[in-house]
Structure 1
Amino acid sequence: MADVKMVLLSGLAEMVAGAISMFFGAYLSTKSQREFFDNEIKRETREIDEMPEKETEEIREIYSNLGFKEDEVEMIVKRVTSDKKLWVRFMMREELGIMEETFDDPLRVGSIMGISFAIGSLPPLIPYMIMDNPFTALKVAVVTSLLFLFGVGIGKTTVTKGNWLKSGIEVAIIGSIASGVGFIIGKIVSLVVG
């Protein structure tokens, strides 16, 4: 087995690389969603400019299908079409089901993902920071990782309002499977590479 410093350095390198990768993955994904939204706004604005009758008819259809009476529908159509920004926003929400509020800031999302990855990478590394024996550090790393994962599962229930024990066990099991697969792949690679 590798010595403690080698495991620690490898783990820290993976933590930094993984955090950077998670940051950029989340950033680009969120940025793409925002770009999609912006392009849909441009398309919807163009449709309102070029085919106002068709877009007005779509408003009528939406509210008629909801059971509004004809005079109520006309009142809504008049109000919505009187303000172009409102009209575009209305078409985005009601026709396309896209709401601007659902799109997060890419930098914020990327930062949260990167920092979360780094924090999640620390529990298995801490034993290697304070112990000299790699076998003991590995055992303690497994236990601290399981406890951390269990804690994350419990923390998740503050949002989901689910059963804390079930959630803690679920996250610990899923994390264990992912770690186990990574460990097995590492073993196979070390056997192949030598």
Structure 2
Amino acid sequence: MTRILHSEVHLVHRIGWLRAAVLGANDGLVSTASLVVGVAAAGSGRTEVLIAGLAGLVAGAMSMAAGEYVSVSSQTDAEKADIARETRELEETPEAELDELTQIYVERGLDDRLARQVAVQLTEKNALAAHMRDELGISETIAARPIQAAVVSALTFAIGAVVPLIVAGLAPASAISVAVAVTTLPALAVLGGLGASAGGAGIAKGALRVTFWGALAMAATAAVGMVFGVTV
């Protein structure tokens, strides 16, 4: 009998950079567009609008990079601490750890005898890897990478922020707010759809939720600019 081989494409390996990329691009587009709309709505000229937008781009990209690095570094520290503790426990109480691994497989549906066999074989091959994966939920695929997250989020924030700045630079001075809003909403829809597609989720749902929150943010900053007449 001929065995039919097939390949599978899984998306979980993208989690590390995908989350940072989507968050960065979305934040760059929404925050900069909202800033530009608010400043323009306050009656500021094109130069002031562009300066505020550029400052928002630089500050936002650096903030995203720092925030992602600190956040993911904290996750990495926690993972390392758990791995160190698990390594120590495997050295000091190997039988107890074997029993613990066996119980994990029993709870997942294996009978006691088979669960024990699986636990023993995996322990003999690589005890730490088995406990990292099945007890702690840590794997190489989804391990935290602080530098990758920081760089990706900063770059994608800057890319997203460039869009409303270009529109603000090209649109008539009296129509900057409208032009930025009109171009930003479709861009948000595309970004949301791409992010959802890359993550294997529904494109329409991803596009709708990103567009909704982006529109809400721009409306809020436009209202602040019109009511108070100051740059925000």
Shorter chain as normaliser: what TM range? 0.7 to 0.9
* Shift in alpha-carbon separation, 1:163–1:88, aligned structure 2, 3 A: closer
Partner of 2:55: 13
The reply on whether 1:76 has 2:114 as its aligned counterpart is no
Q: How far apart, in 2, do the equivalents of 1:148 and 1:183 lie? A: 19
Q: How far apart, in 2, do the equivalents of 1:34 and 1:89 lie? A: 16
* Shift in alpha-carbon separation, 1:59–1:161, aligned structure 2, 3 A: closer
Unaligned runs of 5+ in 1: none
* Alpha-carbon shift at residue 189 of structure 1 (Å): 6.2
Partner of 1:25: 67
* Alpha-carbon shift at residue 17 of structure 1 (Å): 0.3
Letter in 2 for 1:15: L
Contact 1:22 1:117 in 2 (8 A): yes
* Amino-acid identity (%): 30
- What CA RMSD, in Å, does the superposition of the two structures yield over aligned residues? 2.4
- TM normalised by structure 2 equals 0.70
* Alpha-carbon shift at residue 29 of structure 1 (Å): 1.2
The equivalent position to 1:67 in structure 2, one of 104, 110, 114, is 110
Equivalenced residue count is 187
Larger RCO: 1 or 2 (CA < 8 Å, sep 6+): 2
* Shift in alpha-carbon separation, 1:20–1:112, aligned structure 2, 3 A: same
What whole-Å deviation, never above 9, does each CA across 1:5-36 have from its counterpart, x for those lacking one?
11101100011100110111112111211111
Letter in 2 for 1:26: E
Q: How far apart, in 1, do the equivalents of 2:210 and 2:111 lie? A: 47
Q: How far apart, in 2, do the equivalents of 1:121 and 1:17 lie? A: 11
Partner of 1:170: 209
SS at match of 1:103: coil
Contact 2:181 2:218 in 1 (8 A): no
Partner of 1:58: 100
* Alpha-carbon shift at residue 103 of structure 1 (Å): 1.7
Contact 1:150 1:168 in 2 (8 A): yes
Contact 1:146 1:176 in 2 (8 A): yes
Q: How far apart, in 1, do the equivalents of 2:180 and 2:106 lie? A: 62
- If you compute each CA radius of gyration, which structure gives the higher value, 1 or 2? 1
Q: How far apart, in 1, do the equivalents of 2:206 and 2:84 lie? A: 43
Q: How far apart, in 2, do the equivalents of 1:60 and 1:167 lie? A: 40
Q: How far apart, in 1, do the equivalents of 2:197 and 2:138 lie? A: 28
What whole-Å deviation, never above 9, does each CA across 1:103-137 have from its counterpart, x for those lacking one?
24211111111122112212221133224x42222
Q: How far apart, in 2, do the equivalents of 1:112 and 1:185 lie? A: 31
Tell me which protein shows more helix as a share of its residues.
1
Letter in 2 for 1:129: G
Alignment of 1:53-132 (within 5 A): 53-65=95-107, 66-70=109-113, 72-83=114-125, 86-131=126-171
* Alpha-carbon shift at residue 90 of structure 1 (Å): 0.9
Contact 2:192 2:203 in 1 (8 A): no
* Alpha-carbon shift at residue 4 of structure 1 (Å): 0.5
Unaligned runs of 5+ in 2: 1-42
Letter in 1 for 2:207: G
Contact 2:123 2:130 in 1 (8 A): no
* Alpha-carbon shift at residue 168 of structure 1 (Å): 3.1
